[in-house]
Amino acid sequence: MDLLAAAPALRGDPWRWQPHPEVWALVAGLALAYWWAMTRVGPRATRPGETVVTRRQVAWFVAALVTLEVAADWPVHDIGERYLFGIHMGQHLLLSLVLPPMVLLATPTWLARMVVGQGTAYRVLRRLARPVAATLIFNGVVALTHWPAMVNVSVSNGALHYGVHVVVVASALLMWLPVAGPLPELRLTVPVQMGYLFLQSILPTVPAGWLTFADGVVYEAYDVLPRLFGTSVASDQQFAGMLMKVGGGAFLWTVIAVLFFRFALRQEQNDRDRGLPLDRRAPVRTADGQVLTWEQVERELQRAGPAPVEPDR
């Protein structure tokens, strides 16, 4: 009996298609609600001549729906729920790092103000969206959703598992508000955004390291047969830990790099608009204190013409 109790659970064909009409209904409902808001509500909620929604926002919304469908439907959801924790980790990264900023970037400011209002909900959101509060809430949810007892119970209960996903997405939306939120007053300055996201990439090191170097089976719910791709339970856990740290970190660092280059280009353009000298190389200070940039030096050299040729001796 002890040997039977310790043996991996035997489950059916992992590649058998599983329909998820609740996911289809959710995606279709969100698409319909967005269309209705942009075509019916938006024209009445915005001022004459104001853009209701941009093509870029629509593109972000479509990308968000595709991401939601991939993360919540077969095969990612079923394999991640029943067979491989590494796939489960990938699913959570999609729901916490990829989907939320897409949703926020797809939301026009007028729609966000209409949903949140200016009363109690807005004041609560403003407090929760502060960097410290948002960081604590998001990483607290990450820790809770990777607690072995929570994982073992949630993957065996479909309703609870979907509820966990709702909490993950909600906390991630809160975490991304200071970076990609539609309300300008809740956004941090770009340099602070980069530091904020860098912090988000460092904090998951603890649970990721724990998964990567854990001895034995951490999540009994994933000690099952058949083993997909010939992976052992230990290698599956190690892959999940590496994906959490390296994959999640790489995504956040990519966002940081994009923010940095956009910020640098914007600063350069602002300097051009104000007529300030662009110091692309070490400046040369003249006797009267004027700073010359490379463009100015090059222009003066062109005006002076080629250097004279020395006569042959």
104: Cβ contacts below 8 Å, ≥ 6 apart: 173, 176, 177, 180, 181, 182
Q: Tell me which H or E stretch contains 204.
A: none
Long-range contacts of 188-192, Cβ-Cβ distance < 8 Å, separation of 24 or more:
188/131, 190/259, 190/262, 190/263, 191/263, 192/131
Give the per-residue pLDDT at 231.
86
Nearest-5° Cα angle at 264, 258 to 270: 135
Instruction: Fill in the amino acid letter for 243.
Output: L
| pLDDT tens per residue, range 35-86 | 999 999 999 999 988 899 999 999 999 999 999 999 999 999 999 988 999 9
Q: What is the pLDDT of residues 256-303, one digit of tens each?
A: 999 999 999 988 887 776 765 555 555 555 555 565 565 666 676 677
Residue-wise over 149-167: b if at least 16 C-beta within 10 A, else e?
eebeebbeeeeebbebbee
**What are 222-256's pLDDT values in tens digits?**
887 677 887 888 899 999 999 999 999 999 999 99
Rounded percentage of the chain residues whose pLDDT exceeds 90: 62
Distance, in Å, from the CA atom of 304 to the CA atom of 246, rounded to the nearest integer, reads 55
Q: Per the structure block, which two tokens stand in for 58? A: 């629509």
Mean of pLDDT values over 90-108: 97
